[in-house]
């Protein structure tokens, strides 16, 4: 089973049975899911557990009781309870909550919204925003222009279909669909007509222009006196959102300028604006903008910074203070298409990747500002500490850091020291105890040191380590050479064909980081030395014949 998050929550069976039943709490969660994108509640599965108790049995009349109790407490909420028997024989109720066609609430007028793994109350103007953003039919799936489904741009259609079938983010069952079936699957067409999303991605120029809110991008370059010195505009509606990203990157030469750092550092050249950062900023601007609102996307380039300005506020539930940890997709189907084309990570906003890249390059974290009608993201050009680049690269090579660890290490390397409270504020974490997954291994390896106690604890990187890159060596498998790890994997698969990645890692060395094993397996697959069958957790590896 999946972990709790935007689309899933787990509750004990005690919450719906006997004196401990809390129907108001259950109603709150159902309303929150209905006001977001829908979701599932697993009743009878404890938090942090994957299966119910093996002896657990669900009373036959409980699903009807759930329907009745929730109907008495909610408005515009549909619940679909179903008794499921798990692999261990235990039973639980899977409660499906579809996305509501209207704003859902309690019968006494309280509103909630699912944000990440929590059901948050919404009040005041946010209720009006929710009602305004929530039409009975999402903008993406509307067919108001009545453009025939065969009126697509043939070149765009062929390019999109080929990209989807070549993507390893698309399930094999989806790749097998015909072209027409793919259009329906991705909500690009409905019946005889193209949807707004279909027109946006596949339509001809005249049809895209008729949408009125199709994205327009303006690039404006300013000099040190804030005077305009160059301007590029993509406003002729010939390009789809996917093509706009490539066009902007290719046609703005300033993005490809590079710094040459002094000799002696691990990396000699660093881009003025990293391609990953620029593309992530463009993806966020295109995927998360409100397509019911007009307004151009502005890329304002100054000598010391790049500002990306997008029309409309952040999606309801996302703020500049929680953007690192909150997932809300304003345009669900466009986000799914971008994910399957490998243009974005569907799970998040991409801000964590922007943080990681900027901090790894010794630059400040991105700055996010929201007003009532726009969102502005600023990334700085200047490298505050060039030595951080070499430091993060060497640390990652030695210890195979996670993304969270790279972000935390990059922040600490740029400062003399940060208290636990200061670090938690920058990382948008509350309470301070939430820092543990970010710092525990770094402290164990002595890359990061600390002094003090509780919230006054100071975390810092030893200046000598930052300067000399003298990481504590070792001969454990944690820092195994790539060619040696590949040889171990090939030898293991020779003895144990059709093995899962977890089994391989356990046999060759459980202390090896899972990401390093996965990366090595991917390389062996690319070299045609290893083959696999199945996807995700059912993927099994064997030696190529």
Statement to judge: residues 270 and 359 lie in one domain? yes
Instruction: Supply the pLDDT for residue 322.
Output: 78
Percent of the chain with pLDDT over 90: 42
Beta bridge partners of 531: 542
Instruction: Supply the pLDDT for residue 346.
Output: 55
CA distance 464 to 473: 16
Instruction: Supply the pLDDT for residue 290.
Output: 86
Statement to judge: residues 333 and 221 lie in one domain? yes
CA distance 349 to 121: 22
Residue 523 lies in domain: 477-543
Domain membership of residue 232 (yes or no) is: yes
Q: Is the pLDDT of residue 478 over 70?
A: no
Domain membership of residue 126 (yes or no) is: yes
246 pLDDT tier (thresholds 50, 70, 90): very high
pLDDT tens sequence across 65-85:
999 999 999 999 999 999 999
Q: What is the DSSP string of 89-123?
A: S-EEEEEEEPPPSS--EETTS-EEEEETTEEEEE-
Domain boundary among 440, 468, 496: 468
Dihedral of alpha carbons 523, 524, 526, 530, sign: negative
- 508, 489 Cβ separation under 8 angstroms: yes
Statement to judge: residues 101 and 235 lie in one domain? no
Statement to judge: residues 30 and 85 lie in one domain? yes
**CATH number, domain containing residue 322:** 3.30.565.60
Statement to judge: residues 222 and 288 lie in one domain? yes
Statement to judge: residues 364 and 413 lie in one domain? no
**CATH number, domain containing residue 43:** 3.30.950.30
Indicate the range of 90-99, 188-197, 372-381, 499-508 predicted with least confidence.
Answer: 499-508
263 pLDDT tier (thresholds 50, 70, 90): very low
Statement to judge: residues 287 and 356 lie in one domain? yes
**Average pLDDT for 505-515:** 79
Domain boundary among 468, 496, 515: 468
No. of helices (H) and no. of strands (E), the chain: 20, 23
Instruction: Supply the pLDDT for residue 266.
Output: 43
Q: Is the pLDDT of residue 24 over 90?
A: yes
Indicate the range of 192-206, 365-379, 462-476 predicted with least confidence.
Answer: 462-476
Domain membership of residue 296 (yes or no) is: yes
Domain membership of residue 350 (yes or no) is: yes
509 pLDDT tier (thresholds 50, 70, 90): confident
pLDDT tens sequence across 270-311:
788 999 999 999 999 999 888 888 889 999 999 999 999 999
Statement to judge: residues 204 and 76 lie in one domain? no
Instruction: Supply the pLDDT for residue 3.
Output: 62
Statement to judge: residues 358 and 446 lie in one domain? no
Statement to judge: residues 185 and 241 lie in one domain? no
What pTM does this model have? 0.72
Average pLDDT, the chain: 86
CA distance 195 to 243: 19
Domain boundary among 380, 399, 418: 380
Domain membership of residue 2 (yes or no) is: no
Domain membership of residue 3 (yes or no) is: no
End-to-end alpha-carbon separation of the chain, Å?
34
Statement to judge: residues 362 and 232 lie in one domain? yes
- 356, 410 Cβ separation under 8 angstroms: yes
Q: Is the pLDDT of residue 2 over 60?
A: no
CA distance 350 to 275: 13
Domain membership of residue 1 (yes or no) is: no
pLDDT tens sequence across 347-363:
555 788 899 899 988 89
Count other Cβ atoms within 10 Å, centred on residue 441: 16
Paired sense of beta strands 189-190 and 193-194, if any:
antiparallel
pLDDT tens sequence across 78-120:
999 999 999 899 999 999 999 888 899 999 999 999 877 788 8
**Average pLDDT for 253-271:** 69
Q: Is the pLDDT of residue 162 over 60?
A: yes
475 pLDDT tier (thresholds 50, 70, 90): very low
Closest C-alpha among 427, 97, 373 to residue 419: 427
**Token pair belonging to 247:** 């066009």
Q: Is the pLDDT of residue 198 over 50?
A: yes
Count other Cβ atoms within 10 Å, centred on residue 447: 24
Domain count, the chain: 5
Distances (CA, A) of 72 to 23, 24, 42, 165: 10, 10, 21, 47
Residue predicted with more confidence, 226 or 316: 226
Q: Is the pLDDT of residue 337 over 60?
A: yes
Domain membership of residue 37 (yes or no) is: yes
**CATH number, domain containing residue 438:** 1.10.10.10
Instruction: Supply the pLDDT for residue 81.
Output: 93
Task: Tell me the Ramachandran region of residue 116: left when phi exceeds 0, alpha when psi lies from -120 to 50, beta otherwise.
Answer: left
Statement to judge: residues 394 and 458 lie in one domain? yes
């Amino acid at each position: 089973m999946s972990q709790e998050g935007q689309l899933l929550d787990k509750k004990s069976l005690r919450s719906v049975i006997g004196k401990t039943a809390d129907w108001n709490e259950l109603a709150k969660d159902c309303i929150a899911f209905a006001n977001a994108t829908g979701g599932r509640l697993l009743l009878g599965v404890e938090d942090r557990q994957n299966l119910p108790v093996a002896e657990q049995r669900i009373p036959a009349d409980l699903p009807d009781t759930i329907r009745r109790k929730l109907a008495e407490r909610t408005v515009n909420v549909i619940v679909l309870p179903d008794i499921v028997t798990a692999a261990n024989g235990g039973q639980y109720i899977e409660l499906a909550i579809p996305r509501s066609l209207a704003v859902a609430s309690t019968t006494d007028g309280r509103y909630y919204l699912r944000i990440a793994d929590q059901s948050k109350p919404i009040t005041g103007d946010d209720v009006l925003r929710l009602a305004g953003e929530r039409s009975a039919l999402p903008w993406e799936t509307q067919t108001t222009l009545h453009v025939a489904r065969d009126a697509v741009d043939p070149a765009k259609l062929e390019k999109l279909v080929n990209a989807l079938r070549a993507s390893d983010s698309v399930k094999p069952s989806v790749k097998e669909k015909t072209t027409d079936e793919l259009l329906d699957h991705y909500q690009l067409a409905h019946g005889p007509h193209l949807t707004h999303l279909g027109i946006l991605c596949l339509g001809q120029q005249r049809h895209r222009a008729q949408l009125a809110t199709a994205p327009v991008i303006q690039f404006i370059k300013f000099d040190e006196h804030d005077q305009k010195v160059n301007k590029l505009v993509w406003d002729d509606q010939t390009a789809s959102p996917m093509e706009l990203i490539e066009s902007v990157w290719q046609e703005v030469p300033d993005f490809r300028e590079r710094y040459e750092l002094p000799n002696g550092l691990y990396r000699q050249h660093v881009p003025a604006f990293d391609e990953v950062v620029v593309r992530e900023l463009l993806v966020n601007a295109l995927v998360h903008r409100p397509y019911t609102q007009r307004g151009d996307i502005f890329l304002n380039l100054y000598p010391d910074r790049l500002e990306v300005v997008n029309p409309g506020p952040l999606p309801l539930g996302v703020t500049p203070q929680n953007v690192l940890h909150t997932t809300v997709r304003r345009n669900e189907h466009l986000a799914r298409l971008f994910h399957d084309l490998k243009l974005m990570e569907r799970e998040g906003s991409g801000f964590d990747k922007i943080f990681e890249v900027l901090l790894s390059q010794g630059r400040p974290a991105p700055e996010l500002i929201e007003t009532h009608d726009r969102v502005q993201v600023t990334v700085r050009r200047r490298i505050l500490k060039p030595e951080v680049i070499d430091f993060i690269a060497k640390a990652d090579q030695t210890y195979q850091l996670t993304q969270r660890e790279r972000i935390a290490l990059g922040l600490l390397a740029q400062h003399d020291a940060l208290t636990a409270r200061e670090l938690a504020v920058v990382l948008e974490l509350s309470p301070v105890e939430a820092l543990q997954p970010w710092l525990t291994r770094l402290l164990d390896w002595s890359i990061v040191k600390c002094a003090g106690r509780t919230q006054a604890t100071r975390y810092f990187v030893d200046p000598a380590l930052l300067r000399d890159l003298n990481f504590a060596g070792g001969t454990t498998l944690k820092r195994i050479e790539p060619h040696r790890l590949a040889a171990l994997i090939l030898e293991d698969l020779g003895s144990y064909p059709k093995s899962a990645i977890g089994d391989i890692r356990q046999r060759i060395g459980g202390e090896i980081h899972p990401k390093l094993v996965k990366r090595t397996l991917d390389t062996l697959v690319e070299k045609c030395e290893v083959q696999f069958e199945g996807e995700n957790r059912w993927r099994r590896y064997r030696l190529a014949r």
